[in-house]
């Protein structure tokens, strides 16, 4: 039995597609990697089974939330299962946090999905650890999320990559929002920076304007952004730099979502494109596990920061008590005579 105020070492569990990240994280903290089985029933519903013993363990579920609609339910089922099987607490490690953009109603009748998504996560997990969430109108996640959240920043890792890989860089942000990143990165590596201006007309329709960058001619442009989503921001910026006599830029992003064929369209406009492994992609070169591991380790020191907003576990009823001994959920129950 763990002593009060002390949490056992985290057990890391990966949702599908997050296995490599989870392994890196487990290695970074010398933690145990557990196993979850997931599959779909013939009708498309999700099946989740935790194969590791989670009783009285602190469980960290690793699931980046790019394209969240595909796997969100099984993530909730995994968290609920961990809790029902006796996990002391359940942390979500989501290197990319979804649904951060629709944080207000821009047109009448729209769903404010940032708020709904935050409520769903907050009612499922005890804690959230994420990297560079796309905070825009809210200053911090605590304005949306009711559970403790840890927000980490990948800018120093991007800066270190630029310092090692790019001679004479000019760090460029594609829009005013990116100034926070590019100024911090430029300061860390002692390079100049510039910020472009962007007008977004629609999801895939952006206009980027370059100021006069002639003072930095001869430097290697490095476009830096938090997200490449539709990719149009970076495509527009990369397309215009040669018009001012610059070499094709390097691109460094934290979250390389690169929807549709955007990566293939951006590639010929650039010298190199790199991203962190927050979202699994061919451009991944910057590992985030070493950034996340110390935060997860720090949460193990105490449960005093843990505020449980979710409902308490429900007592077992007759169906649950009979559960394991009766029939597996994927087969027809015996009282149907073997028929579905």
Q: Considering only residues 94, 232, 249, 289, which one is a binding residue for ligand R5P as defined by CB under 6 A?
A: 232
- Decide: 103 and 114 in contact? Cβ < 8 Å: yes
Which is nearer to ligand R5P, 78 or 227 (by Cβ)?
Answer: 227
Residue 256 in the binding site for ligand R5P (CB under 6 A): no
Q: DSSP string spanning 59-101? A: EEEE---SSGGGTHHHHHHHHHHHHHTT-SEEEEEESS----S
Phi, psi torsion values for 112, nearest 5 degrees: -90, 85
Residue 160 in the binding site for ligand R5P (CB under 6 A): no
Q: Considering only residues 114, 233, 275, 276, which one is a binding residue for ligand R5P as defined by CB under 6 A?
A: 233
Exposed (0-12), middle (13-18) or buried (19+): which is 42, by Cβ within 10 Å?
A: exposed
Which is nearer to ligand R5P, 10 or 174 (by Cβ)?
Answer: 174
Judged by CB under 6 A, which stretch of 124-132, 163-171, 224-232, 283-291 contacts ligand R5P? 224-232
Minimum distance between the CB of residue 221 and ligand R5P, rounded to whole angstroms?
A: 16
Residue 231 in the binding site for ligand R5P (CB under 6 A): yes
Alpha carbon distance 64, 268 (integer Å): 28
E strand or H helix at 185: helix 179-189
Residue 283 in the binding site for ligand R5P (CB under 6 A): no
User: Considering only CA atoms, which of 242, 101, 241, 269 is closest in space to residue 173?
Assistant: 241
Q: Considering only residues 64, 229, 276, 283, which one is a binding residue for ligand R5P as defined by CB under 6 A?
A: 229
Residue 102 in the binding site for ligand R5P (CB under 6 A): no
Neighbouring-strand partners of residue 151: 130
Residue 281 in the binding site for ligand R5P (CB under 6 A): no
Residue 29 in the binding site for ligand R5P (CB under 6 A): no
Which is nearer to ligand R5P, 188 or 204 (by Cβ)?
Answer: 204
Q: Considering only residues 92, 158, 206, 291, which one is a binding residue for ligand R5P as defined by CB under 6 A?
A: 206
Q: What contacts 35, CB < 8 A, 6 or more positions away?
A: 13, 50, 51, 52
Distance of CA 238 to the CA centre of its chain: 25
User: Considering only CA atoms, which of 112, 111, 118, 113 is closest in space to residue 94?
Assistant: 118
Minimum distance between the CB of residue 185 and ligand R5P, rounded to whole angstroms?
A: 14
Phi, psi torsion values for 172, nearest 5 degrees: -125, 130
Per-residue tokens: 92: 């979500």
Residue 175 in the binding site for ligand R5P (CB under 6 A): yes
* Window 284-303: contact mask with ligand R5P (x via CB under 6 A): --------------------
Minimum distance between the CB of residue 325 and ligand R5P, rounded to whole angstroms?
A: 51
Q: Considering only residues 230, 276, 283, 299, which one is a binding residue for ligand R5P as defined by CB under 6 A?
A: 230
Three-class DSSP category at 337: coil
Residue 225 in the binding site for ligand R5P (CB under 6 A): yes
Minimum distance between the CB of residue 159 and ligand R5P, rounded to whole angstroms?
A: 17
Q: Considering only residues 85, 177, 210, 297, which one is a binding residue for ligand R5P as defined by CB under 6 A?
A: 177
User: How large is the greatest C-alpha to C-alpha distance in the chain, in angstroms?
Assistant: 81
Residue 98 in the binding site for ligand R5P (CB under 6 A): no
Q: What contacts 205, CB < 8 A, 6 or more positions away?
A: 232
Residue 103 in the binding site for ligand R5P (CB under 6 A): no
Which is nearer to ligand R5P, 9 or 175 (by Cβ)?
Answer: 175
Phi, psi torsion values for 27, nearest 5 degrees: -65, -40
Interacting residues with ligand R5P (CB under 6 A):
174-175, 177-178, 206, 225-233
């Amino acid at each position: 039995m763990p002593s009060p105020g002390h949490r056992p070492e985290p057990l890391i569990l990966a949702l599908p597609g997050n296995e490599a990240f989870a392994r890196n994280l487990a290695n970074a903290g010398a933690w145990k990697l557990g196993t979850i089985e997931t599959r779909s029933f013939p009708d498309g519903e999700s099946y989740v089974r935790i194969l590791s013993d989670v009783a009285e363990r602190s469980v960290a579920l690793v699931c980046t939330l790019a394209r969240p609609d595909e796997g969100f339910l099984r993530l909730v089922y995994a968290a609920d299962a961990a809790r029902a099987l006796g996990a002391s607490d359940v942390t979500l490690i989501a290197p990319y946090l979804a649904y951060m953009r629709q944080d207000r109603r821009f047109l009448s009748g729209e769903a404010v999905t940032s708020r709904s998504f935050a409520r769903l996560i907050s009612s499922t997990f005890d804690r959230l650890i994420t990297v560079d969430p796309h905070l825009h109108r809210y200053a911090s996640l605590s304005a949306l999320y009711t559970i403790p959240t840890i927000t980490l920043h990948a800018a120093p890792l991007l800066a270190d990559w630029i310092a090692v890989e790019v001679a004479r860089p000019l760090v460029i942000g594609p829009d005013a929002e990116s100034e926070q990143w590019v100024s911090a990165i430029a300061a860390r590596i002692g390079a100049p920076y510039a910020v472009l201006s962007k007008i977004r007309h629609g999801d895939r329709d952006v206009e980027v304007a370059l100021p006069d960058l002639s003072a930095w001619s001869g430097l290697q442009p490095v476009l830096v952004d938090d997200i490449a989503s539709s990719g149009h921001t970076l495509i527009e910026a990369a397309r215009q730099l040669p018009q001012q006599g610059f070499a094709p830029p390097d691109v460094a992003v934290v979250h390389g979502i690169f929807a549709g064929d955007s990566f293939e369209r951006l590639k010929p406009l650039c010298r190199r494109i790199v991203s962190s492994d927050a979202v699994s992609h061919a451009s991944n070169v910057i590992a985030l596990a070493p950034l996340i591991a110390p935060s997860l380790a720090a949460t193990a020191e105490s449960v005093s920061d843990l505020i449980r907003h979710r409902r308490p576990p429900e007592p077992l009823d007759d169906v649950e008590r009979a559960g394991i001994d009766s029939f597996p959920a994927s087969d027809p129950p015996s009282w149907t005579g073997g028929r579905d």
